[in-house]
């Protein structure tokens, strides 16, 4: 039987942690008098570990054949690592705490995704009904903590995040192992040949640039709102608005891809990102502009991510699909996210917020140009290559 509620509970707490930690941890670091560069460096560790850690933990899971055991170990070590934050106040100590947490925490989701699909082997279409509880968890956490921070000190971020990590750990011990289907031997040479495909080069390069464009959003958006007089609860509502827009786009994405294809959806999302980050950078004092910019999150993340995953699934066929998705995740959310966090942190102190978000728009424009020039329009609807 499908352990629906146990899987759903795991996703709920996993993304509740994201909702508590990602929008508000930078506010906590700002309360410690960290500079923008230091906040950018600390935040980039999450992206750095997303490049390295999942591959190491995944190899361990492959050798042991016990994905559930690794997920449980990751949950327990994440809780233990997070305790370091409660005694950390200097840049060096927070850096060490973040490095330990990021290494342990980033291991879990790729393995849980593979376990979920293994449980859903006969009915993969039900994945959305499981994964949606992650979005619910994010919304609950970001709204609740936003309300709390209007009255409580910034250190409340630590306690709320720690509570969700405990929830992740408990849920990890309830999810049963799923027998993986045997994988045929990979052929590295053929995989390397795929990387010479102009469409794949265009897709991966543009995804890296698009994630870099979001660096200033994920690291400094809450700080930017806070310094311009928005309440913490308003910050939570704005983050929630973006997630709701993202969910609506995910819901409509099958029809959009059928009508417009992956290339055109990606180009549209990159164009929306160019507009969105200019609106954030220069329209922060106008709530209507800020709200409109958050609605565009449905395009700049929801449409972007859904179309990119679909394109990877189409271009990396058969036995290469898992490696293709791993490569997309590492280059996009790993390398691209780290680049965006570091560059925006350096730029924020020297040029100010409006120009930093303008730089984000430049990254998005570069993504548009890379995809438009390297992925010919005539190939947009080509069927999958043969394995």
Is there a single domain that holds both residue 100 and residue 221? no
Please tell me whether residues 96 and 244 are part of one structural domain: no
226-251 pLDDT, tens digit per residue, is: 999 999 889 989 998 998 898 888 77
Residues 249 and 327 in one domain: yes
**Sign of the CA dihedral with 91 first, then 39, 245, and 271 last:** negative
Asked whether residue 203 falls in the same domain as residue 302, the answer is yes
- Both 3 and 82 in one domain: the answer is yes
pLDDT attached to residue 384? 42
Same domain, 155 and 106: yes
Q: Is residue 81 part of a domain?
A: yes
Give pTM, 2 decimals: 0.75
Reported as a single tens digit per residue, the pLDDT across 322-368 is 566 667 777 888 889 889 988 998 899 889 999 999 999 999 999 99
Mean pLDDT, residues 212-218: 92
d(CA 209, CA 273): 11
Q: What is the pLDDT of residues 136-152, one digit of tens each?
A: 899 999 889 988 998 89
Asked if the structure places residue 18 within a domain, the reply is: yes
Rounded-to-integer distance, Cα 121 and Cα 118, Å: 5
Q: Is residue 57 part of a domain?
A: yes
For residue 175, the 8-state DSSP code is S
Q: Which residue did the predictor score with more confidence, 314 or 217? A: 217
pLDDT at 317: 62
Whether residue 364 sits in one domain with residue 298? yes
Specify if 181 maps to a domain.
no
For residue 317, is it within any domain? yes
Pick the last residue of a domain from 155, 176, 197: 176
For the segment 203-222, the average pLDDT, to the nearest whole number, is 93
**Nearest residue to 299 via CA among 321, 327, 279, 319:** 279
Q: What's the rounded Cα separation, in Å, for the pair 271 and 361?
A: 9
The confidence score (pLDDT) of residue 224 equals 94
CATH at residue 377: 1.20.1250.20
Cα(267)–Cα(308) distance, integer angstroms: 11
Neighbours of 383 (CB within 10 A): 7
- 349 and 203 together in one domain: yes
**pLDDT for res 190:** 63
Domain termination site, one of 176, 209, 238? 176
Q: Say yes or no: 106 and 54 in one domain.
A: yes
Say if residues 142 and 23 touch (Cβ distance below 8 Å): yes
Query: Do 324 and 343 belong to one domain?
Result: yes
Q: Is residue 92 part of a domain?
A: yes
What is the 3 state secondary structure string of 240-293? HHHHHHHHHHHHHHHHHHHHHHHHHHHHHHHHHHHHHHHHHHHCCCCHHHHHHH
Q: How many distinct structural domains can be found in the chain?
A: 2
Judge if 129 and 217 occupy the same domain. no
**Contacts (Cβ under 8 Å, ≥6 apart) of 122:** none
Q: Can you give the pLDDT at residue 364?
A: 97
pLDDT at 179 over 70: no
- Kindly state whether residues 42 and 138 are assigned to the same domain: yes
Range of the domain at 365: 186-387
Domain boundary among 176, 205, 227: 176
């Amino acid at each position: 039987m499908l352990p629906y509620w146990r899987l759903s509970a795991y996703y709920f707490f996993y993304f509740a942690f994201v909702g508590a930690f990602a929008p508000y941890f930078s506010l906590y670091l700002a309360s410690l008098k960290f500079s923008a560069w230091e906040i950018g460096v600390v935040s980039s560790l999450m992206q750095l570990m997303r490049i390295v850690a999942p591959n190491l933990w995944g190899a361990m899971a492959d050798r042991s054949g016990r994905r559930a055991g690794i997920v449980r170990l990751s949950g327990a070590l994440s809780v233990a690592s997070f305790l370091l934050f409660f005694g950390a106040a200097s840049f060096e100590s927070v850096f060490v705490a973040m490095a330990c947490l990021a290494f342990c925490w980033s291991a879990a989701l790729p393995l849980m995704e593979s376990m979920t699909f293994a449980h859903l082997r006969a009915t993969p279409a039900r994945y959305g009904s499981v994964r949606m509880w992650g979005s619910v968890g994010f919304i609950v956490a970001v709204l609740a903590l936003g309300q709390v921070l209007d009255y409580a000190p910034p250190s409340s971020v630590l306690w709320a995040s720690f509570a969700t990590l405990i929830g992740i750990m408990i849920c990890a011990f309830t999810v049963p192992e799923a027998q993986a289907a045997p994988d045929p031997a990979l052929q590295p040479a053929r995989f390397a040949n795929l990387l010479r495909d102009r469409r794949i080069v265009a897709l991966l390069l543009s995804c890296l640039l698009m994630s870099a464009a979001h660096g200033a959003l994920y690291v400094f958006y809450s700080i930017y709102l806070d310094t311009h007089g928005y309440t913490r609860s308003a910050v939570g509502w704005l983050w929630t608005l973006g997630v709701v827009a993202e969910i609506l786009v995910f819901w409509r994405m099958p029809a959009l891809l059928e009508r417009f294809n992956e290339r055109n959806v990606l180009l549209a999302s990159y164009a929306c990102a160019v507009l969105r980050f200019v609106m954030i950078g220069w329209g922060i004092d106008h709530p209507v502009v800020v709200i409109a910019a958050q609605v565009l999150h449905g395009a700049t993340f929801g449409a972007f991510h859904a179309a990119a995953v679909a394109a990877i699934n189409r271009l990396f066929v058969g036995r290469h699909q898992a490696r293709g998705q791993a490569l997309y995740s590492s280059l996009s959310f790993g390398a691209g996210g780290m680049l965006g966090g570091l560059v925006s942190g350096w730029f924020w102190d020297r040029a100010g917020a409006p120009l930093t978000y303008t730089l984000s728009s430049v990254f998005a424009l570069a993504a548009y140009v890379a995809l438009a020039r390297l992925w010919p329009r005539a190939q947009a609807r080509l069927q999958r290559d043969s394995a």
